[in-house]
Amino acid sequence: MSLSEHPDYQDELKRLLFTKNYIESIIIATETSKENYREKISEAFQDLDWLDSSLSYTNILTNAQFMERSAEEVRNLKKIRPKPYFARINFKHDDRQTEEILYIGKASVFDRESQQPIIVDWRSPIANVYYDGRLGDVEYKAEGEMYEGFLSLKRQYEIVDGSLQSYRDVDLTTNDELLQDSLAKSSDNRLSEIVSTIQAEQNEIIRADLNRPIIVQGAAGSGKTTIALHRISYLIYTLGQEFNPENMMVIAPNRLFIDYISDVLPELGVDRIRQTTYVDYVQDVIGKKLKVIPQEKKLVAIVSEEPKIAETIKWVTNFKGSFQYQKMIERYMKEIQASFYPDEDFAVERFRLMTARKIKHLFQDEYNYLPYYRRVERIKKVLQGDVRRKKKQMLHKVQAIYEHKLDVALSIKEPLKRRVKVSACMDEKETRVNQLNKEIRSSVTNYMKNFPKQSLLDYYREFLNPQTFTRLSEGVLTKNEVHTFLNYQETLLKKNQFEVEDLASLLYLQHYLFGITPELKARNVVIDEAQDYSYFQFSALKALLGTDMFTIVGDLAQGIHAYRGMTDWDILVKKVFPRANYVTMQKSYRTTVEIMKTANEILDLMEEDVPKVEPVVRHGVKPLFIQGQDRQDIVRSIVDKIEKDQEDHCKNFAIITKTERDARELHKAFKHSNLLETNLLVEMDEMESGKVVIVPSYIAKGLEFDSVFIVSLDDRYTLTDVDIKLLYVAMTRPLHRLTLVANNKQDLLLNWVDEKLIDFQVRA
């Protein structure tokens, strides 16, 4: 049956037309209101009496707020205008007589007169029925209450530029069909369109308890990134007017990733929240630009250095991110705290205003909730207050002494002697009072010099001083380990360089010593690619922010920085986020069964047991191996294959190399060939629209493309865990096509893969 023959077709056309017209009328009315508010603001400015402006000023503020809300409403309506809704449910509450027909979209639209919903926001409680409910008896939760009812219809629409293209009624069978249709699309709009095909397990994570942290172990392609962003969107919806974008932060693996997700953020209404990287955020917090060695350089060193050197790098790196290293920093903080205890009482001349013991009590007990230097500031204010209160008393006592001396001088009978004595007494009194006033003015400043004054970096360098470090590492490290660590660190200190692993220590020291400025605080944090973070990075961030409201998503199988990051989530759950919900997602919605089977075979080469990915049943062509004789041959083969893939509707392409060195070499080869314009992506680069991307494997994490080429020039993959994970990451980037190009299949570990899984194009 064609779409036009469906019994509801005319009704659906009328409904869409009505919705579009209503949205248009609201946009026009709101923009007119906005102009009215602007005129009222202009009038209020003209009436503004700068001597008595309270009423006019209030009018300006009120109209400005209304205008801002109007502008926001117009922006939201214009966003949804091309596709007002994507689904419909027919639902009857058990306690009501009539069935409701509800249309679900990315934002709510209500009839301004009746307040009846024209479009229901996908984040609303009742929309949960669409995502979670099968046809029949269902329930949903709203404001702590459970509501039951009967779901008789779930329908999904394809609306393009305001035109109804198709719709299908959803049951278990068609739900799979709809999902596969969505997955078969280009990656250009998959991120923004996921809201219409959110699966039950994904929906559960998005709507999980917002008052608890959540840790998601999600397989490659499971949608964990978009789920994390949709969870923020759901939180924003739930908070409503209480939402403050400054209270939320997304920490991405690199700036390239921030650029990659930038298109979907406005769609979800989360574009105003802070998006940063761990390195950038730490530098913002400490107020210093550091020479931070990119973690990719260390990864390359581990892969390419002699085994003994590589093991040293891995051990030091792992230790810096460990629970034990954090404990050493805490020992150090206790030593620093002791240096803040004063030895002297606070006194002005012979007047003792506060004992050293009392000041120690203030620092150690009264203000122990504050960072050390803020405690010092608080103590300074207390001392200043004490001086102000007792100034008169001190001056009075001194003056009383000289009043008595003056009385004695005045009692001298001999005039000349009396005059000399009185004059000397008056001069001495004036000098003494002036001296006391001077002492009073400088007393607090002088006393505060007893407290240490060092920069954050000075403290960290002191921690790494051989004597200090050796003392603090007692019972933690052996002598040989201390020697190895200090030798490694000496090179960095000489060059004034820091590693990513040092940043957790700096953040932790900042927390204890100086604290964080309010504008850099966040109450809700999302961390993506979390498997590459160390225990200490999480712990330091949680301590600094004073919240455990984290959404943490990652995949241990993609832990290419496992030498410093997470090898399992247990320590994070037990020691850092004990309240966390922990969930796993092993279904991959990104790539085809054929590609995923090949990637799983590579994952099988790992020594550790890693959960296998379960691909959603979407079939495609087998991965293709092309044997390239030289760089020119490789470039020509890639160009030919891209042209074929474009005929199969692939729109965006990535060429993934093992290392940056290979990426640069390949980029150079393409330039010389003049056959194809490519966009080389390393840490600081941005994607250029319309160009084929060349990217090292360790930067490709989290990205996805229609067609991916994995190329080995000089840097081959070996059977080390790091190389296996790098290759696995690269293999799980494509949606539809995977092509592997090398001089021989061993360079890409394909000699370990079942030959039936791959097509081979070998040169004669």
Q: Is 219 annotated as a binding residue?
A: yes
Q: Is 225 annotated as a binding residue?
A: yes
Instruction: Tell me the DSSP string of 268-320.
Output: HT-TTSEEEEHHHHHHHHHT----EEPHHHHHHHHHHS-HHHHHHHHHHHHHH
704 closest CA partner among 188, 255, 253: 188
Q: How far is CA 599 from CA 530, 592, 725, 733, 745, in A?
A: 21, 11, 10, 10, 15
Structural contact between residues 186 and 649, judged by C-beta atoms closer than 8 angstroms: yes
In Å, the largest CA–CA distance within the chain is 132
Q: Is 58 annotated as a binding residue?
A: no
Contacts of 439 (CB under 8 A, 6+ apart): 348, 349
Q: Is 515 annotated as a binding residue?
A: no
Amino acid at 237: Y
Q: Is 252 annotated as a binding residue?
A: no
Alpha-carbon gap, residue 340 to 548, rounded angstroms: 30
Structural contact between residues 183 and 561, judged by C-beta atoms closer than 8 angstroms: no
Contacts of 460 (CB under 8 A, 6+ apart): 502, 505, 506, 509
Alpha-carbon gap, residue 352 to 437, rounded angstroms: 15
Reduced to 3 states, what is the DSSP secondary structure of residue 737?
A: strand
Q: In 10 A of CB 207, how many CB atoms?
A: 21
Structural contact between residues 709 and 653, judged by C-beta atoms closer than 8 angstroms: yes
> Token digits for 240?
């409503």
> Which stretches of 52-188 are assigned E, i.e. beta strand?
87-93, 100-105, 109-110, 117-121, 136-142, 145-160, 163-169
Helix axes 295-304, 721-731, angle to 10 degrees: 120
* Residues belonging to the chain: 764
The 3-state secondary structure of 317-358, one letter per residue? HHHHCCHHHHHHHHHHHHHHHHHCCCCCCEEECCEEEECHHH
Q: Is 83 annotated as a binding residue?
A: no
Task: Determine phi and psi for 462, rounding to 5 degrees.
Answer: -65, -40
Q: Is 253 left (phi over 0), alpha (psi -120 to 50) or beta?
A: alpha
> Token digits for 139?
């329930």
Alpha-carbon gap, residue 75 to 73, rounded angstroms: 5
Alpha-carbon gap, residue 165 to 126, rounded angstroms: 26
Q: How far is CA 154 from the centre of its chain?
A: 35
Alpha-carbon gap, residue 348 to 437, rounded angstroms: 10
With 0-12 / 13-18 / 19 or more C-beta atoms within 10 angstroms meaning exposed / middle / buried, residue 242 is exposed
Structural contact between residues 498 and 294, judged by C-beta atoms closer than 8 angstroms: no
- Show the CA angle centred on residue 307, arms to residues 304 and 311, nearest 5°: 105
Q: In 10 A of CB 197, how many CB atoms?
A: 21
Q: Is 240 annotated as a binding residue?
A: no
382 closest CA partner among 395, 370, 397: 370
> Token digits for 634?
């490789």
Alpha-carbon gap, residue 371 to 479, rounded angstroms: 33
Q: Is 224 annotated as a binding residue?
A: yes
Alpha-carbon gap, residue 52 to 280, rounded angstroms: 46
> Token digits for 435?
């001296």
Instruction: Return binding residues.
Output: 218-225
Instruction: Return binding residues for ATP.
Output: 218-225
